Structure formats: structure tokens, C-alpha cells
Homo-oligomer: A and B are copies of this chain.
Amino acid sequence: MTTPVIAIHGGAGTISRNSLTAEEEARYHEALAAIVGAGQAVLNAGGSALEAVTEAVRLLEDCPLFNAGHGAVYTSEGKHELDACVMSGADLASGAVACVTNVRNPVLAARAVMEKSEHVLLVGAGAEAFAARNGVATVGPEYFHTDARHEQWLRVRGQSRAMLDHDAASFVFAHKDAPAGVAEKAPIDPDNKFGTVGAVALDRFGNLAAATSTGGITNKQPGRVGDSPLIGAGCYANNATAAVSATGTGEAFMRTVACHDVGARMAYAGNTLEQAAQAVVFQQLPKVGGRGGLIALDAQGNLALPFNTEGMYRAYGRGELAPVTAIYAAQA
């Protein structure tokens, strides 16, 4: 039987100019380790890759440190529009939702679309109605609120920026559950973070799966859909090649069909997983100004976590081994 593997990411971006204490960084490492550990537990108990990536992304959505679910960024109208996607490498079954505003865990809605509809992508009110009909938990808009994201939106809105491509002031992130007055800085500058979360997994049966979820970009135009919920752009899984989840400047990943391109280079050019992932992140994406990274895993358990930004929140775990977490390049 195959040794199960899971990897996750929590977004890529530039590093804040302000130096951080080890304690501040530790919060991110702890969250990543706990979530990848939960995914490992699913796999080690005999769960499928599909179940593991769904659970890992659900936990990433629930964690306010990451831009998905609770803790998602604000649109230009001061709302939250969430996107998610899940794909099974065994049969290319796929489900996705985009522009949903009241689904607590968009990845669970995506899973429901995959398993309970004849469609792949549902958007907006239609997606919300489908989710509610299929027992996916809904919440009011206040659920997605975090003081930190709201302040980030007010700051970005004041600068009339939607796409963020330069360094910004340091960011103080207040935990929802933190005692009053306790805040922390984020290692990766949130104003320059391409906030997406994702997971890829290989189960003991040799099946791959991938999932991606996002709140999009701060101050985004209502109705903007990025790469995250799109098969081939921000999420892809095929047992014959790889499971891939991306994070970055979404439009560039859409134009290059980045995640499918990783698989295509393996299938048709004979690239290894590492070669294919590197080519997409360091050659293809930069041609259209694409910044970010991706996590990729093949059916032999090979893993590639390349990014062309200064950092990418990421972690992986193999079998029963302790999770490995990293933020900056040197730690990879």
C-alpha cells in the first residue's frame, strides 16, 4: 500500500519589512502543523485523499490566519465573496462554487456540487440555494468578519488598490479568540499576500485529490472570480499526473491554466513532478506577470512546493511522520 502524503498551503506573498519575533512566526507554524496533522490523521485512518483535502481545507477556512472562510478579505463593497474547488484524481470528478456569501465552508459546498449535482461549477445565489438544499451550513455575513481583514480593507480602499503588487506597511493581526489587546504580526505581509488556501493528498489506495479555497483579493470588484474555483487554473487532480493547488495573482494562473499545465508537462513532455512544477512557477507564470506558488504531489508521493514570491505558508506530512512546516524560501 502507498504511504499517504498530504501537503497544504496558506497563501504566498512578500515578507513584511518589519522583523518578526520567533513567537509571532510560531503561530503560523503551529496552525499549519495542526491542520496538516489533521489531514494525516484522516489518511492514516484509511480515509481517502478526497476526504483528507476536504478536511484540511475546511480547517484552513476556519482558521482566521488565512484568507478563506472565517478571515476572508473584503470586497470593494465591504462584503465577502468566497470561492472553492475540489477534484478527485481517480475519475476527474470535480465540484466548485464561486461568489458565495453565506456558506460557512465553501469547500464543503464544492464537495456537494461534485457529489450531489450533475454540474461542476455553481456561482452566486444559485450556488447558495444548492448548498442550503444539500445541508451545507450557512452563516450570516458577520461570521466572515475579522477586525484585521476589515482594517486591511479600509487601508487598501483608501489607496484605491485592488491588485496588490508592492510592499506595504506591516500588518497587525488580531486573533478572533485572542485576549483583548493581544495581536500579532503576520510573517507574510497581508497587503501583498495572495491569499488562498489549498491541499493536495495521496491516499493509501494510490488516489490523488486537490482542493483550493479563497476569499479572493482585498477590495476586489464584486463578481470577480479568480483561479481558485476553476479546474485547471487554481486546482487540478489526475492520478496519471499530479494533484495541484495554486495561490497567487489569480488572473495569471487562469491565463496560463497553471495547474493543468503542471499535469500536461508530466503527461506529454515526460517531465518529473519537480520539473513540471518549476517550469510553471519560474518560467510560464512570470511571462504573464504571475506571482505566487503551488503545491503539487504525484501518485508516487513526490512533492513539489515551488513559489516565486518571498514566502509561501506551507506544510506537509508523510505517513506517521511529524508535519514539516515552512514560510520563507530558506526553510523549504
Tell me if A310 counts as interface (CB < 8 A to partner B): no
Residue of A93, A125, A257, A269 most packed against chain B (CB within 10 A): A257
In the bound complex, how far is the Cα of B260 from the Cα of A233, in angstroms? Answer: 10
Given contacts A232-B232, A288-B92, contact A221 B257 (CB under 8 A): no
Number of copies: 2
Q: Please state if B92 and A255 are interface contacts (CB–CB under 8 Å).
A: yes
**Is A297's beta carbon under 8 Å from chain B?**
no
Q: Shortest distance in angstroms between A236's beta carbon and chain B's nearest beta carbon? A: 7
* B119–A221 touching, CB < 8 Å: yes
Cα(A256)–Cα(B120), bound, Å: 12
Which B residues lie within 8 Å of A94 (CB)? 251, 254-255
Check A119/B224 contact, CB under 8 A, given A256-B92, A264-B268, A265-B268: yes
From A58-66, A126-134, A144-152, A207-215, the one touching the partner chain is A126-134
Which residues of B sit under 8 angstroms from A221, Cβ to Cβ?
A: 117, 119, 122, 126, 130
A223 at the binding interface (Cβ < 8 Å): yes
Write the chain B residue with the least CB distance to A270: B268
Contact A223 B118 (CB under 8 A): no
A202 interface residue per 8 A CB criterion? no
Which of B130, B162, B163, B231 is close to A223, meaning CB atoms less than 8 Å apart? Answer: B130
In angstroms, how far is the closest chain B Cβ from the Cβ of A6?
23
- Cα A130 to Cα B220 in complex, Å, equals 13
Bound-state CA distance A222–B128 (Å) is 10
CA distance A260 to B257 in the complex (A): 7
Most B CB within 10 A of own CB, among A223, A231, A269:
A223
Q: How far is the CA of A123 from the CA of B123 in the complex (A)?
A: 8
| Chain A interface residue count, Cβ-Cβ cutoff 8 angstroms | 48
For residue A191, CB closer than 8 A to chain B, the reply is no
Report A74 CB to chain B, min CB distance, Å: 14
Structural contact, B231 and A129, CB atoms closer than 8 A: no
**Minimum C-beta distance from A84 to chain B (A):** 14
Determine the distance from Cα of A291 to Cα of B129 in the docked complex, in whole angstroms.
28
State whether the Cβ of A261 lies closer than 8 Å to any Cβ in chain B.
yes
Let me know if A223 and B257 touch, CB within 8 A.
no
**A146 shortest CB reach to chain B, Å:** 23
Given contacts A260-B261, A264-B261, A268-B268, contact A123 B223 (CB under 8 A): yes
> How far, in whole Å, are A268 and B257 apart by their CA atoms in the complex?
15
Closest residue of chain B to A258, judged by CB?
A: B232
A residues with a Cβ closer than 8 A to B are 87, 91-94, 98-99, 117-127, 129-130, 162-163, 220-226, 230-233, 236, 250-251, 254-257, 260-261, 264-265, 267-269, 288
Apart from A260-B264, A268-B268, what 17 extra A-B contacts exist at CB < 8 Å?
A94-B251, A98-B225, A120-B255, A121-B224, A121-B230, A122-B221, A123-B223, A125-B222, A125-B223, A126-B221, A126-B222, A230-B231, A231-B233, A232-B260, A264-B264, A264-B265, A268-B269
